[in-house]
Amino acid sequence: MTERAAVKAALKTQAVETPSWAYGNSGTRFKVFAQQGVPRDPREKLDDAAKVHELTGVAPTVALHIPWDTVDDYAALARHAEDRGLRLGAINSNTFQDDDYRLGSVCHPDASVRRKAVDHLLECVDIMDATGSKDLKLWFADGTNYPGQDDIRARQDRLAEALAEVYERLGDDQRMLLEYKLFEPAFYTTDVPDWGTAYAHCLRLGPKARVVVDTGHHAPGTNIEFIVATLLREGKLGGFDFNSRFYADDDLMVGAADPFQLFRIMYEVVRGGGMSGDVAFMLDQCHNVESKIPAIVRSVMNVQEATAKALSVDRDALRAAQRDGDVLGANSVLMDAFSTDVRPLLREVREEMGLDPDPMAAYARSGWAEKIVAERVGGEQAGWGA
Amino acid sequence: MTERAAVKAALKTQAVETPSWAYGNSGTRFKVFAQQGVPRDPREKLDDAAKVHELTGVAPTVALHIPWDTVDDYAALARHAEDRGLRLGAINSNTFQDDDYRLGSVCHPDASVRRKAVDHLLECVDIMDATGSKDLKLWFADGTNYPGQDDIRARQDRLAEALAEVYERLGDDQRMLLEYKLFEPAFYTTDVPDWGTAYAHCLRLGPKARVVVDTGHHAPGTNIEFIVATLLREGKLGGFDFNSRFYADDDLMVGAADPFQLFRIMYEVVRGGGMSGDVAFMLDQCHNVESKIPAIVRSVMNVQEATAKALSVDRDALRAAQRDGDVLGANSVLMDAFSTDVRPLLREVREEMGLDPDPMAAYARSGWAEKIVAERVGGEQAGWGA
Amino acid sequence: MTERAAVKAALKTQAVETPSWAYGNSGTRFKVFAQQGVPRDPREKLDDAAKVHELTGVAPTVALHIPWDTVDDYAALARHAEDRGLRLGAINSNTFQDDDYRLGSVCHPDASVRRKAVDHLLECVDIMDATGSKDLKLWFADGTNYPGQDDIRARQDRLAEALAEVYERLGDDQRMLLEYKLFEPAFYTTDVPDWGTAYAHCLRLGPKARVVVDTGHHAPGTNIEFIVATLLREGKLGGFDFNSRFYADDDLMVGAADPFQLFRIMYEVVRGGGMSGDVAFMLDQCHNVESKIPAIVRSVMNVQEATAKALSVDRDALRAAQRDGDVLGANSVLMDAFSTDVRPLLREVREEMGLDPDPMAAYARSGWAEKIVAERVGGEQAGWGA
Amino acid sequence: MTERAAVKAALKTQAVETPSWAYGNSGTRFKVFAQQGVPRDPREKLDDAAKVHELTGVAPTVALHIPWDTVDDYAALARHAEDRGLRLGAINSNTFQDDDYRLGSVCHPDASVRRKAVDHLLECVDIMDATGSKDLKLWFADGTNYPGQDDIRARQDRLAEALAEVYERLGDDQRMLLEYKLFEPAFYTTDVPDWGTAYAHCLRLGPKARVVVDTGHHAPGTNIEFIVATLLREGKLGGFDFNSRFYADDDLMVGAADPFQLFRIMYEVVRGGGMSGDVAFMLDQCHNVESKIPAIVRSVMNVQEATAKALSVDRDALRAAQRDGDVLGANSVLMDAFSTDVRPLLREVREEMGLDPDPMAAYARSGWAEKIVAERVGGEQAGWGA
């Protein structure tokens, strides 16, 4: 197989998971802008996700968020997905949108609130059993706003206890993906603020616990690809929540703010053996001002472009230049891959997969946008967050 | 008058404006936690503000936010305030919570949206006429989320045009206070992102236009007291929106995150002649997890403590050490004032003003918290933001 | 002229000024690594710069730094430059490497130190007269390390007085370019820390005073292209000190850390009329670990690539999408230009200019590196900074 | 023992280690300002450190830096220390100031450079044997400046191999303290950039390996006390390199930039059992513009003040408020301790220790400054870094 054929083969098998909540309305604390045609229930979210997969060919799974996607019959929901060529992906827990969680969930000072939170997490594993999902994705909004508000260390003890109970409940093929985040909604301490904390907990829990890297959850200046390389080296990288940011957790389309960074991240994934299927590539974005479905299509394409460039790096030449201490030469090898326009290659990939080479134009022509605006009238639009 | 007497006299005349919205519910994009007893209309917000003023003696005015505090009869609202020993303060405009403002307000590409926004600002001046408010405070959520989304420079032209029309409408004793903010809710560009942009616009507008410094609206590492000193030197500091932050615009209680920074800011205010009445000391906070009224009382006290320390700096000794290039000596003079416990002095000030020396304890004893929980049942709680 | 021809014409006339000090050794406070073949005097720096211009065709001027480039006969130095196809560019002052400047230069509390600093600046204008340089570039390391160390406002007064005296001395065709920097070497206050401060001073000084944007001198999260657009709108952008950074003022090769940002900056330059010759494109970099001359060649090429992409933006399509509020469409237009590989276009440009299409390879083949290593033996290597 | 007596007892036993290099000249890459009377050899540094200990009573050990403090006879140096009431503290390695280390030391691509670096580390352990030092403090300047320059993961492998060899060499009572740093002098990747990386290596090495927290080595917004609490919970906190910063690794006097942060850090130390002797409290500062010895005295006092406040927190009241979810109450308990002026308490502590209650004034009166200026003439002043 030629180099180019190998790159194309890898691109055809890459899978990007889209999040159900990105199809619904979202916003900031200042305003959630409603868009026409937004889904009103989990089924309609899957319908939109199916459109994205139909156009891109590489978005076969959809992450659910509980309780936003709570249904009576998860098996039926899974069938609804299958009928559209999809599978249900990671189950995302939510322990932040109940009044009881004002001071935390699994780290709350009150044991009864912690119990409630853990029970929710266990319920999420039940749902995984019903949907066939492999990954439980845990993000905790837990933290404090003021120095002294609670005991930093006691909260870690409570967290460890909760995680251990949930880990115990996991089936043989199920994983726990633990996400970290620098801040927001808590503004003084966050109980899982960085990869080190998530890593330390996962290490104690065991091999089924892995760290999730949300690309928007770091302090300014953090070298994310370094974290990716380190977690892969330690066998602890579970996956990504992709999005992009200029300031904080802006949740913009992945690749929109710093495409070179996304390329560097994907290069470390490729170099560290992360393309083998073990690492989940998930989107976690909020399309506050732009149209949601095409924004997700575009995001999937941005991941593909970064991956294509990462796969195209001349690794032999890179290794040689690195070995020789040729700083400019080594940098040039990497930059050559980044500077190359991979859009023609990806058009070929899509054509070989029987897809339209231009998914954005295909969506515009499809009539789907007009159809959902016309049909999804009445009912309550799905919305993310508050 | 002794030094100590002069400090006390200054502290007795300092006025801190509390914002009507801080008495209502607030939160993050993830969740707004409801609290019991929260006001259900502007009158109840004033009732709470009156309690804060009764306890602290230095919070005689309340900022309104339009349309959150829209009433049919502003003169009646002003009388409601006066009956409780208060006056209505700055009028804060809101051009971010209408679906029309998805892509901006005064900077929107569509002239009809800009017209609507400007009309709202002009209406705010009408309200100032009715309430006797002196200051129009303008904060614009305008900006873009993606590179290319709109033309940076054309948006500045639109902004300048809108500001000019509103400036023209101001009465002789009215001022326009223009606020800047690094980011949020816009995540790529913000149309007034820094003091330089606000300053440049105010300079062109004329003497009635001044810059407002919100202490939470800066990039990491920004030296806020430098900006304060510079704006006072240029005669362009209109006032403060006080709050504190560890990360972004966290809107925590002022002085909670970095009390030394607050002291340094207040020192520049004192040194730059900002205690003479021209500079408005306003709070702009969100009490997401803590009780709102005592949080505001505490915030007022925090401003007082920082002010008391700033007033206590031995400026002759400081000047001498600075002149001599005595780095450690000059720093020591400043640190001596900061290290001093000014709470006894402030207790004296309160007693001399006929107040309880411990406003927090007095509030706890007052029964107000229990009273509003019991009485404010039914109706819709006031809430900040989305 | 076709669109492509116009882009090529613009690229052929763009001029990038290289700094004499980038040809010498540089490092961090931890270590300055010496490289073989480094220039030992200003003439040898010009020889290297001539090589860069010979290879790229767009680096015709060299910035000098006084006193690092002090010579007895500046007219002779200018002739040395001319003989090699170069001109002398901006004169950069240095008021930070003398023991007298421990507490500042033009802002120092002691008037005699200020006098010395101003005299140095005036001497730089004398040198401009001798070299024919048009721009005096001022960067002040002035600031304080500790709160209280000196009076923030008094230092602004001293700064204003110094600048006014130097401004007065400028000839009709000479400009003063004032640079700002967030921090380093001062760690508490810096006397010109942001564009707003530089702008305010330039405004008072008059039309010959302009602001310089060093791309590495901002707080994390600062939107540099916004500043560029704003300064162009105000007629106050004097030029750039190009370099790139991941953290602070890292002084890496321009375009190495965030090529998308560089493209956005160049787009605002193009859109704001900054390609007409009024804006100086200067490099200000430190090649601590990489070979200096090829690093500078590469940097010039990086500026060219960003410029080529910026010139290639379909501005009609962009304007239409922006006008229609088509967020994704407008973003796509910009991204299309960025995603395009402009290296073939630049190879054409170089061939049409009679240059080797691959300047890096041409340098490697030229033997210059070997020649200077062999010839520049003995004497003292030029070094930047401490 | 009363509460107050217990606080005083703890303060009397706290030990702060001062670094030999802080007594020498230091600066930034722009300029190292020389001061009069600066030590010219390790013995004179110890003489100055003895003065600091004589004045403060709590600075009994001095950290050495190899090769800056290389001597022929370490036993003699240890006796010189003992004669002045001091002991030699941590041995700090230096693998960054040799031309061979341009591309790294223990992570260098070339095995011979790695060998040289490891040999230096082993030599440092030999020196520990001679001096009786218990701690080997490792900080690596290793990293890369450009994407692609070297392989992130391979460098981790090399690092792990080097650390393992050195760890093996440690004696039973010797520890390895591994320091992390976000950036500088490397500007793209740093091989030990955060506590997570240091922790992961220490975990693999074994119980004698611990993490050092340098308070200036974090990304903006990092919650340092959270890291301290976490490392103490994991039994992996080895000690501190204290200093303070407004921007990057400014190396200002500890407590000078954010005294509230220092208090919060010390509170977590106290709460987490870190006062028992296992955690090393070291200074690592650069006194670029201020007088060195009094700056170190002041720094020791700042650590004492923060410790005194941390020890004074009413932990029963805090625990009760935290348990009750009383956000404002819990915050108040902490703030009460911070707001209290502990300088009178510390004066008592010093008097009870037979010291002058005001070490700064005592130093000024001591004549030491004049003595060293007069005596230390000729020879080469000690200097930090480049």
**By C-alpha distance, which of B88, B96, B154, B144 is closest to B120?**
B96
Residue B380, pLDDT > 70, answer yes
- C36 in contact with D at a CB cutoff of 8 Å? no
* Per-residue model confidence as pLDDT tens digits over D45-101: 999 999 999 999 999 999 999 999 999 999 999 999 999 999 999 999 999 999 999
Residue D385, pLDDT > 70, answer no
Question: Which of B33, B244, B263, B290 to mutate against chain D (most D CBs within 10 Å)?
Answer: B290
**By C-alpha distance, which of B334, B308, C104 is closest to D298?**
B334
Residue B292's CB is within 10 A of a number of other CB atoms, namely: 23
| Chain mean position to CA A47 | 19
- Report the distance separating Cα A12 and Cα A282, nearest Å: 16
Contact C317, C332 (CB under 8 A): no
Please report whether residue A133 resides in a domain: yes
* Range scoring the smallest mean pLDDT among A61-65, C375-379, D169-173, D176-180: C375-379
Tell me how close the Cα of B285 comes to any Cα of chain D, in angstroms.
Answer: 15
Taking each helix axis as running N to C, give the angle between helix D74-83 and helix D111-131, from 0 to 180 degrees, rounded to the nearest 10. 40
> What's the pLDDT score for residue D8?
98
| Chain mean position to CA C55 | 20
B chain contacts of residue C332, beta-carbon cutoff 8 Å: 148
Q: Is A367 helix (H, G, I), strand (E, B) or coil?
A: coil
8 Å CB contact of B230 and C333: no
> What's the pLDDT score for residue C2?
86
D chain contacts of residue C250, beta-carbon cutoff 8 Å: 145, 183, 187
* Per-residue model confidence as pLDDT tens digits over C305-344: 999 999 999 999 999 999 999 999 999 999 999 999 999 9
Average pLDDT value for chain A: 97
* Per-residue model confidence as pLDDT tens digits over C235-249: 999 999 999 999 999
Q: What is the mean pLDDT of residues A242-246?
A: 98
8 Å CB contact of B28 and A29: yes
> What's the pLDDT score for residue A1?
74
CATH number at residue B155: 3.20.20.150
> What's the pLDDT score for residue C386?
36
DSSP H/E element including C5: helix C3-13
- A364: closest chain C residue by CA: C329
8 Å CB contact of A30 and B185: yes
User: Which residues, 6 or more positions from D345, have their beta carbon under 8 angstroms from its beta carbon?
Assistant: D4, D7, D8, D308
What are the Cα distances from residue B99, in Å, to A30, A248, B28, B30, C323? 12, 24, 19, 20, 18
Q: What is the mean pLDDT of residues C188-211?
A: 98
> What's the pLDDT score for residue C119?
98
- A314 in contact with C at a CB cutoff of 8 Å? no
Residue C161, pLDDT > 90, answer yes
C chain contacts of residue B193, beta-carbon cutoff 8 Å: 223, 226
* Per-residue model confidence as pLDDT tens digits over A170-198: 999 999 999 999 999 999 999 999 999 99
Q: Which tokens in the block code for residue A208? A: 């089924």
- B11 in contact with C at a CB cutoff of 8 Å? no
Residues of the domain holding A39: 3-375
C chain contacts of residue D27, beta-carbon cutoff 8 Å: 29, 185, 386
Chain A neighbors (3+ CB pairs < 8 Å):
B, C, D
Please report whether residue C230 resides in a domain: yes
**By C-alpha distance, which of B260, B268, D245, D36 is closest to C150?**
B268
Confidence band for B385, pLDDT divided at 50, 70 and 90: low
* Per-residue model confidence as pLDDT tens digits over B208-240: 999 999 999 999 999 999 999 999 999 999 999
User: Which residues, 6 or more positions from D136, have their beta carbon under 8 angstroms from its beta carbon?
Assistant: D90, D91, D93, D121, D124, D125, D128, D166, D170, D174, D175, D176, D177
Confidence band for D386, pLDDT divided at 50, 70 and 90: very low
Residue A261, pLDDT > 80, answer yes
Please report whether residue B383 resides in a domain: no
Q: Bridge partners of C87?
A: C61
C chain contacts of residue D248, beta-carbon cutoff 8 Å: 183-184, 247-248
Contact A292, A38 (CB under 8 A): yes
Please report whether residue C134 resides in a domain: yes
Q: Which tokens in the block code for residue A348? A: 């070929």
- Report the distance separating Cα B355 and Cα B253, nearest Å: 22
Number of structural domains, chain B? Answer: 1
Maximum alpha-carbon separation in chain C: 66
Residue A385, pLDDT > 60, answer no
What are the Cα distances from residue B66, in Å, to B90, B139, D242? 11, 12, 49
Pairing mode, strands C175-179 and C209-214: parallel
Please report whether residue D318 resides in a domain: yes
> What's the pLDDT score for residue C277?
84
Pairing mode, strands C143-144 and C189-190: antiparallel
Confidence band for A386, pLDDT divided at 50, 70 and 90: very low
What are the φ and ψ backbone dihedral angles of D143, each rounded to 5 degrees?
170, -170
> What's the pLDDT score for residue B135?
98
What are the Cα distances from residue C134, in Å, to A312, B229, C127, C130, C231? 46, 33, 11, 11, 20
Using CB atoms, which residue from A247, A290, A339 is nearest to C328?
A290
**By C-alpha distance, which of C149, C141, C139 is closest to C109?**
C149
Using CB atoms, which residue from C141, C182, C256 is nearest to D247?
C182
Question: Which of C335, C338, C347, C360 to mutate against chain A (most A CBs within 10 Å)?
Answer: C335
- Report the distance separating Cα B233 and Cα C191, nearest Å: 14
- B322 in contact with C at a CB cutoff of 8 Å? yes
C161-187 as b/e, with b when 16 or more CB fall inside 10 Å?
Answer: ebbeebbebbeeebbbbbbbbbbbbbb
Q: Is B242 helix (H, G, I), strand (E, B) or coil?
A: strand
Please report whether residue D150 resides in a domain: yes
Q: Which tokens in the block code for residue C96? A: 């930070």
Q: What is the mean pLDDT of residues C360-364?
A: 98
Q: What is the mean pLDDT of residues A207-228?
A: 98
Average pLDDT value for chain C: 97
Pairing mode, strands B209-214 and C280-283: unpaired
Taking each helix axis as running N to C, give the angle between helix B224-233 and helix B195-205, from 0 to 180 degrees, rounded to the nearest 10. 10
Confidence band for A2, pLDDT divided at 50, 70 and 90: confident
What are the Cα distances from residue A296, in Å, to A87, A303, A334, C278? 17, 11, 28, 42
> Which letter does DSSP use for residue A9 in this model?
H
> What's the pLDDT score for residue D277?
84
- D361 in contact with B at a CB cutoff of 8 Å? no
B chain contacts of residue A33, beta-carbon cutoff 8 Å: 99, 102
User: Which positions 154-213 of D are in contact with B (Cβ < 8 Å)?
Assistant: none
Using CB atoms, which residue from B145, B220, B289 is nearest to A145?
B289
8 Å CB contact of C339 and A340: no
8 Å CB contact of D328 and B298: yes
SS3 percent helix, strand, coil of chain B, rounded to 5, is 50, 15, 40
pTM summary value: 0.98
Please report whether residue D381 resides in a domain: no
**Which string of DSSP letters, residue by residue, matches B163-191?**
HHHHHHH--TT-EEEEE--SSSS-SSEES
User: Which residues, 6 or more positions from A93, have their beta carbon under 8 angstroms from its beta carbon?
Assistant: A66, A120, A121, A124, A136, A137, A138, A139
Please report whether residue A384 resides in a domain: no
Ramachandran class of A148: left when φ > 0, alpha when ψ lies in -120 to 50, beta otherwise? left
Contact A274, A237 (CB under 8 A): yes
8 Å CB contact of A246 and C260: no
Confidence band for B383, pLDDT divided at 50, 70 and 90: confident
- C381 in contact with A at a CB cutoff of 8 Å? no
- B259 in contact with C at a CB cutoff of 8 Å? no
- C235 in contact with B at a CB cutoff of 8 Å? no
